[in-house]
Amino acid sequence: MKILFVYTDVNVRGGAQSYQFGIGQISAMLRKHGHECRLHYMFGSCNTAPLLETIDRFKPDLIAFSAVSPQYHYVRDVLAALPENHPFTLLGGHHATLCHDCLGESPNLDAICIGEGDYPTLELVESMKDGKPADNIKNLWIKKPGGSIVKNPTRPFTEDLDSLPFPDRELFDT
């Protein structure tokens, strides 16, 4: 499966592009299981044209966002710019964990991940690959056709951190 991570880092003071640990960790988990991951890094402005070109060329099965609350309005703008037949979309990070209502407020957002995303995102991608429903994956809230939301419970935190792969740093070398 192909996963496109979109990271908005727009209007951030300091000027340096930054590494997003959550995306790096989830990408490492997905790559460990044979999935192809790419990053579209939005720095400086929220110009969606280059992202739409990346989506057209890469043809991802999943578009995954991570956002802190000050960046969420950019993610919402990006979601609004997606074509009608867009790939499945997932939002994780602090904003999704703290502001669950964002799922119902964003028409082009299909799911949010609450809390840790390593295993839930892997389970989502594997379900998509196998053509199985993703309705029962802990930590994920899934929007169904018609707008109803399946609110799965959260799982315990991963205690054995050595079981996780080292974060993917190559993803950010673009």
Contacts with 168 (C-beta within 8 Å, 6 or more apart), sequence order: 24, 25, 27, 28, 31, 37
CA 32-89-26 angle, 5° bins: 25
Inform me whether the pLDDT recorded for 118 exceeds 80.
yes
Q: What is residue 110's predicted lDDT score, i.e. its pLDDT?
A: 95
For residue 110, the one-letter residue type is D
Inform me whether the pLDDT recorded for 137 exceeds 80.
yes
- Can you name the residues that pair with 65 across neighbouring β-strands? 6, 91
Q: How confident is the model at residue 60 (pLDDT cuts 50, 70, 90)?
A: very high
Rounded Cα distance between 41 and 27, Å, is: 14
Average pLDDT, the chain: 89
Q: How confident is the model at residue 147 (pLDDT cuts 50, 70, 90)?
A: confident
Higher local confidence (pLDDT), 135 or 164: 135
Which whole number is the average pLDDT over 101-114? 90
CB 99 within 8 A of CB 115: no
Per-residue pLDDT tens over the stretch 78-97: 999 999 899 999 999 888 88
Q: How confident is the model at residue 132 (pLDDT cuts 50, 70, 90)?
A: very high
